[in-house]
Amino acid sequence: MGQKGAETRARILDATQELVEAGGYSGAGLNQVIAASGAPRGSLYFHFPEGKDQLVGESIRRAGQAIGAAFEDLAASGASAAEFAEGVLRHLGDRLEASGWSKGCPVATVALEMAAVSDPLQQACSEVYASWEAALRERLAGRRDADDLAVTVLALIEGALLLAKAHRSREPLDRVTGQLAALLR
């Protein structure tokens, strides 16, 4: 694929991610993706021949990798497990607040809407969550309960993001940050 094709594909994925995060799977209709990306209809079908589930799945993976990169940056700083969890919550909270409370987790809405009815989207959501759990587990290395704690921390982060979005407030994030610090000591 040439540079122009790669740029068009990236624009389509960017538009899809924005639409999915703001309105979920149902909020990212193909006509909306075409309008938001400025890409020709044919390009959408050329780059994503398997249709909307392929498009949304790749968008979720891409968003998951971007957040995973932020996790890696935090991990590289040598932060303790508690500092790492606090940094993750701060990063995601900043992202949520800066978006006017529309960009919570790029995976959660699709997981809630589609994981039970679409195998490709369930797989995409599962892969992203598994990669985030692995990043958390790595920060908890050496603890005998690292597997359970990684899932617990991720669940607390996801729940805090949902509540922060619903309340349009950082308060749930701040409360969970305090509880995670106590849990991870």
Q: How many domains does the chain have?
A: 1
Note down the domain range covering 178: 3-184
User: In this structure, what is the dihedral angle of CA atoms 98, 157, 52, 59, given to the nearest 10 degrees?
Assistant: 60
Tell me if the pTM is above 0.95.
no
Read off the tokens for 16.
């899809």
CB 6 within 8 A of CB 39: no
CB 115 within 8 A of CB 121: yes
Arithmetic mean of pLDDT over the chain: 92
Output the domain CATH number for residue 22.
Answer: 1.10.357.10
Would you state the pLDDT for residue 4? 84
DSSP assignment letter at 64: H
Nearest alpha carbon to residue 168 among 91, 86, 92, 102: 102
Would you state the pLDDT for residue 139? 86
* Tens digits of residue pLDDT in 146-160: 999 999 999 999 999
* Tens digits of residue pLDDT in 79-137: 888 888 898 899 999 999 999 998 888 899 999 999 999 999 999 999 999 999 998 89
The better pLDDT of the pair 171, 1 is held by: 171
Residue pointed to by tokens 């940056």: 73
pLDDT band at 1 (very low <50, low <70, confident <90, very high): low
Would you state the pLDDT for residue 22? 87
Mean pLDDT computed over 5-11: 91
